[in-house]
Amino acid sequence: MPCERKPMRYGHSEGHTDVTFDDAGKFIVTCGSDGDVRIWESLDDDDPRSINVGEKAYSLALKKRKLVTAGSNNTVQIHTFPEGDPDGILTRFTTHATHVAFNHSGSRVAAGSSDFMVKVVEVADSSQQKTLRGHDAPVLSVTFDPKDEFLASASCDGSVVIWKIDEQTKVTSWPVLQKSNDVSTAKSLCRLGWQPKTAKLLAVPVGLKVHLYERDSWEHVSTLSDDMMTQPINVVAWSPCGQLLAAGSVGGFLTVWNAESKLCVERQKHEKGYTVCGLAWHPSGRQLAYTDTQGSLGLLDDLPTASSATKTPKVAANDYDDLFDEDDDRAMDEGLSDTHSPAKRPVAGGDDDDDDDLMPATGRVKNRSSFLDDENSLDTVSLALGQGKYGDDDDAGSTVAPPTGPSLPLRPAYEGPLPTLPQKPFQPGSTPAHLTHRFMTWNSVGVVRGYNDDQDNAVDVEFHDTAVHHAMHLTNALGHTLADLSQEAVLLACPATDELASKLQCLHFSSWDANKEWIVDLPAGEDVRALVLGQGWAAAATSARTLRLFTVGGVQKEIFSLPGHVVSMAAHGEQLLVVYHRGTGFDGDQALGVQLLQLGRRKRQVIHGEPLPLSCKAHLAWLGFTAEGTPCYVDSEGVVRMLNRSLGNTWTPVCNTRETCKGKSDHFWVVAVHENPQQLRCIPCKGSRYPPTLPRPAVAILPFKLPLCQTTTEKGQMEEQYWRSTLLQNHYSFLSSSGYEIDDEGQNQNQKEQQELLMKMFALSCKLEREFRCMELAELMTQSVVTLAVRYASRSRRMNLAQRLNELAMEKANQLQEEQEQEEEEVQEEEHHTPRSRRPAPLGGPSGKQSKGPVLKPLAPKPKTKVSLIQRPWTGFQLWLEENRKSILADSPDLQETDVIKAAMGSFRSLSAEDRLVRGSDWDEIAGDRTSNLSVTRELAKPTELPPPFHPYIPLHRLLLIWGFIDK
């Protein structure tokens, strides 16, 4: 039959306590650090009698109507019991006594003290004292031999000593304890217990176990242990019958062993896990009172008797319903602490008959098997899980209740990956909303700060460039928490309150009329979660998973649904980037999706909700566009990723800010990214993820660095430089394709730099004799640089390489030509059919206020120019070659491209003058026709003229050079 754990009740103020029963078992007597001794008629006694014995009471002993207490006033006092009248002072120490104990008959009292001494005093005549000297540290506890011959004491010096009382000598000593300086710092109180009646065994709590020493031989005969015991045992107490030993531990575990069979017969856990520091058996042996260091008193009732315990040690689970209740609460964090094989855990709520299988419900069954395997334990087990009734308790066996505790995960059998909490929505460049002074946003335009302290609830808007607008100070009556800032407006939003709907407020300061502000109420139940300002428009994503578009003047525009809850949004010009929760992430990862929309006149979705790549277990920390309009984001691991439009809209990591951090907890708080010049503008934060508003943080600049391999070597360095340059050049083509003016000079510069890098790498590979690699590099070069490479190769006497490069050069030249032809055709078609369909529409930018600063990169519309049509005209020779190529090839099929041209050139020249006049002019005329289709008038090439260089892109002298090599 399981014992009953009565609920704890308040006994004393917080601190060390001790407990005992009176001889008859009528009262529970406790003492505590409040200096009171309380006499409880039962645990439910609401009005216990208090006796004040001093400032603090460390220990008490009660026998024969005498109450002996060890107090803080360095004395051991006697009071009468139960009256509580002072009955004199038994003995004094130089410091306070730590433990007092009666002998069996109650004629003597032993007291241990912090002054290293143990005294044995006759109760009747306190002048008869025996002092036991020999400990080198405060005495932890004392206990009498029931036969009154010996006395055992434990001390902070780590020893347990057996004294012969009469001779005041040490009989033996075991250095088994952990040493400490003082009782208060000792790991364990080490209350000793001498077996009553037979007086055969002395129980000594040593760490997690209880050592049993045999009287007279003083040998360590056995050890009692329990696998559930995870912290040192504080106290032990023998049952009055002398067969059961109870122990209470630091972690609040209570265990009862049968000393003979060494089996654990009862096991309980303190309801709050506080340290048990007092333990006493009821004289009947059916109750166990205990107290903890928090001053509470508890009682275990209906304990198994020694006889029944020896018969059928039996397992039941009275706590199982509690256990599984707890499981439901912890289902979320399961697996965090669980290191045991969860597969062995059965599913909760199985049927009652299933005894054997249900037994290993703790996941530690292997450890416990030592006692469970014994006798008939397993086959009589019956569990009623989750139903609150105990199975099979007729034969009143002892119980083993598996203790509950945080170290012991008892969970249902789910063992898969755990879902991650979805990250909260945020504005890029904002600090957490709970701060009283925070950045609501910091972007390339300016800073919005929010103050929410006792005096003031306000919003400060400050512009980096005071030319945009002067700083503003707004009172934040609505309680805005979200903000965004652009060259045209400030957008603010507040969540809904009980009375007010969620509002979107826009301060359109660039408006030319007098009304510079508008407010929109969202429908009830819809909260703004993220907002963003583009050029001439604003967007707000709401808790209803909708995205609402507005013009900057306040006209409602499109509305559409998002596939998940929004995480963050960013805008640039007409682009809108939305990141949302795609689903539930697992094991610390977030599952985010990203959409990129083009909103201008030609609306389309560029990225259709693809997963957003993040570092392992990271969340999104910043989202935005580079100043040039390339989407970009930073995750919590500090990795900056940028959209690579030339590689099918993939994301390329361009920088890891954490690599630049000095300290482990330092971070960089990204505020802006620029592609030209390559700059990552961020605020270094020492020891935090975000900066404080005061003192004003200063922006630092980090360079980009693609995480290529071996960037310490020259090769790796150049490769990194090349690919970085290529990646960051993508914005030129994007800008020009979406109709913005681009910095041609910069682009050319960029390309030149790339080609130079390629040439350098080429030279390096040449030096390293890696000709194949040279070819690979040459593939990346433009045609004109390949010719340079040819020259370099031939100079360094690599004829094979030069030959191959030359072929490549030709191929590239042809390719170029073909491309150009195609382009021309396309242009022609366009000119004929839809002359202006693809002309970019001029963008309505705000007038005047835009500055040309490189930070802001205002998107200037491309000036309306006619598509330049100055194409290379077709020459007569080219047409002729086209016509006659087949015949030349038929004549000599093994000719290479260059040779074909050479041969063709020869035969074209050898045409008779007449032929040329007739046919040649024909050719030229036809060529002229073709070119004139391009609406460019051009004088026909005169037939007498030498044909122009056959290829428009290789200057003649270079060509000759090439030929020269081939001839060699």
Q: Map residue 552 onto helix, strand or coil.
A: coil
- Min. distance of Cβ 855 from another protein in angstroms? 4
Secondary structure (DSSP) of 224-264:
E--TT--S-EEEEEE-TTSSEEEEEETTSEEEEEETTTTEE
Hey, which bits of 380-527 come out as E strands?
437-442, 446-452, 457-463, 472-475, 482-485, 490-494, 503-507, 517-521
| Closer to another protein by Cβ: residue 237 or 728 | 728
Binding range to another protein, per CB under 8 A, among 119-127, 836-844, 853-861, 905-913: 853-861
Residues 12, 30 contacting (CB under 8 angstroms): yes
- Min. distance of Cβ 853 from another protein in angstroms? 3
Q: Please state, in angstroms and rounded to a whole number, the distance separating the CA atoms of residues 622 and 300.
A: 58
| Closer to another protein by Cβ: residue 465 or 771 | 465
Angle at 704 (CA atoms; ends 700, 710), nearest 5 degrees: 130
Q: Please state, in angstroms and rounded to a whole number, the distance separating the CA atoms of residues 769 and 878.
A: 39
Give the pair of three-digit tokens for residue 100. Answer: 């007092």
- Min. distance of Cβ 465 from another protein in angstroms? 4
Give the pair of three-digit tokens for residue 33. Answer: 């650090």
| Closer to another protein by Cβ: residue 463 or 732 | 463
Query: Binding of another protein at residue 465 (CB under 8 A)?
Result: yes
Query: Binding of another protein at residue 857 (CB under 8 A)?
Result: no
- Min. distance of Cβ 403 from another protein in angstroms? 53
In the chain, count of helices (H) and strands (E)?
Answer: 16, 52
- Binding residue for another protein, selected from 467, 647, 869, 917, defined by CB under 8 A: 467
Binding range to another protein, per CB under 8 A, among 274-282, 464-472, 527-535, 736-744: 464-472
Query: Binding of another protein at residue 94 (CB under 8 A)?
Result: no
Binding range to another protein, per CB under 8 A, among 235-243, 775-783, 785-793, 849-857: 849-857
User: Torsion angle of alpha carbons 523, 524, 530, 533, nearest 10°?
Assistant: 30
| Closer to another protein by Cβ: residue 149 or 465 | 465
Q: In what order do the strands lie in the sheet with 201-206?
A: 193-194, 201-206, 209-214, 220-224
| Closer to another protein by Cβ: residue 465 or 743 | 465
| Closer to another protein by Cβ: residue 833 or 852 | 852
- 268 Cα distance to chain centroid: 37
Q: Please state, in angstroms and rounded to a whole number, the distance separating the CA atoms of residues 563 and 145.
A: 78
Query: DSSP class of residue 918?
Result: I
Query: Binding of another protein at residue 464 (CB under 8 A)?
Result: yes
Nearest to 59 by CA among 226, 207, 183: 183
SS3 content of the chain, % helix, strand, coil (to 5): 20, 30, 45
Query: Binding of another protein at residue 461 (CB under 8 A)?
Result: no
Binding range to another protein, per CB under 8 A, among 39-47, 460-468, 702-710, 819-827: 460-468
| Closer to another protein by Cβ: residue 447 or 570 | 447
Q: Map residue 858 onto helix, strand or coil.
A: coil
Binding range to another protein, per CB under 8 A, among 54-62, 512-520, 555-563, 851-859: 851-859
Question: What letters, b where the CB count within 10 A reaches 16 and e where it falls short, cover 256-293?
Answer: bbbbeebbbbbbbbbbebbbbbbbbbbeebbbbbbbbb
Size of the site for another protein (CB under 8 A): 20
Query: Binding of another protein at residue 406 (CB under 8 A)?
Result: no
CB burial of residue 583 (10 Å; 0-12, 13-18, 19+): middle
Binding range to another protein, per CB under 8 A, among 257-265, 463-471, 580-588, 646-654: 463-471
| Closer to another protein by Cβ: residue 500 or 700 | 700
Binding range to another protein, per CB under 8 A, among 458-466, 530-538, 559-567, 730-738: 458-466
- Min. distance of Cβ 642 from another protein in angstroms? 20
- Min. distance of Cβ 552 from another protein in angstroms? 22
| Closer to another protein by Cβ: residue 608 or 696 | 696
Give the pair of three-digit tokens for residue 851. Answer: 């500055």
What are the CA-CA distances from residue 112 to residues 101, 168, 325, 957 (Å)? 9, 14, 46, 111
- Min. distance of Cβ 698 from another protein in angstroms? 5
What are the CA-CA distances from residue 795 to residues 647, 766, 801, 914 (Å)? 36, 11, 11, 45
- Binding residue for another protein, selected from 854, 906, 955, 964, defined by CB under 8 A: 854
Query: Binding of another protein at residue 41 (CB under 8 A)?
Result: no
Query: Binding of another protein at residue 563 (CB under 8 A)?
Result: no
Secondary structure (DSSP) of 38-51:
EEESSTT-SS-EEE
Residues 160, 207 contacting (CB under 8 angstroms): no
Query: Binding of another protein at residue 305 (CB under 8 A)?
Result: no
Query: Binding of another protein at residue 364 (CB under 8 A)?
Result: no
Q: Map residue 380 onto helix, strand or coil.
A: helix
Q: Please state, in angstroms and rounded to a whole number, the distance separating the CA atoms of residues 665 and 686.
A: 7
Query: Binding of another protein at residue 852 (CB under 8 A)?
Result: yes
- Min. distance of Cβ 572 from another protein in angstroms? 17
| Closer to another protein by Cβ: residue 173 or 679 | 679
| Closer to another protein by Cβ: residue 159 or 431 | 431
Footprint of another protein on residues 626-685 (CB under 8 A)? 681
Give the pair of three-digit tokens for residue 284. Answer: 């009947």
Query: Binding of another protein at residue 745 (CB under 8 A)?
Result: no
Query: Binding of another protein at residue 851 (CB under 8 A)?
Result: yes
- Min. distance of Cβ 629 from another protein in angstroms? 18
Residues 885, 907 contacting (CB under 8 angstroms): no
- Min. distance of Cβ 664 from another protein in angstroms? 22
Footprint of another protein on residues 679-718 (CB under 8 A)? 681, 695-696, 698-701
Binding range to another protein, per CB under 8 A, among 279-287, 462-470, 514-522, 835-843: 462-470
Specify the length of the chain in residues: 968
Question: What is the enclosing helix (H) or strand (E) of 326?
Answer: helix 320-330
Whose structure tokens read 């609830």?
Answer: 457
| Closer to another protein by Cβ: residue 1 or 485 | 485
- Binding residue for another protein, selected from 114, 225, 249, 444, defined by CB under 8 A: 444
- Binding residue for another protein, selected from 58, 257, 463, 880, defined by CB under 8 A: 463
- Min. distance of Cβ 457 from another protein in angstroms? 24
Whose structure tokens read 């009154």?
Answer: 148
Query: Binding of another protein at residue 853 (CB under 8 A)?
Result: yes
Query: Binding of another protein at residue 472 (CB under 8 A)?
Result: no
| Closer to another protein by Cβ: residue 252 or 446 | 446
Q: In what order do the strands lie in the sheet with 537-542?
A: 528-533, 537-542, 546-551, 556-561
- Min. distance of Cβ 464 from another protein in angstroms? 3
Binding range to another protein, per CB under 8 A, among 188-196, 230-238, 525-533, 846-854: 846-854
Query: Binding of another protein at residue 856 (CB under 8 A)?
Result: yes
Q: Name 257's Cβ contacts closer than 8 Å, sequence gap at least 6.
A: 210, 224, 226, 244, 245, 247, 263, 264, 265
- Min. distance of Cβ 428 from another protein in angstroms? 16
Query: Binding of another protein at residue 137 (CB under 8 A)?
Result: no
- Min. distance of Cβ 684 from another protein in angstroms? 12
Residues 151, 139 contacting (CB under 8 angstroms): no
Window 312-351: contact mask with another protein (x via CB under 8 A): ----------------------------------------
Task: List contacts with another protein (CB under 8 A).
Answer: 444, 446, 463-467, 681, 695-696, 698-701, 851-856
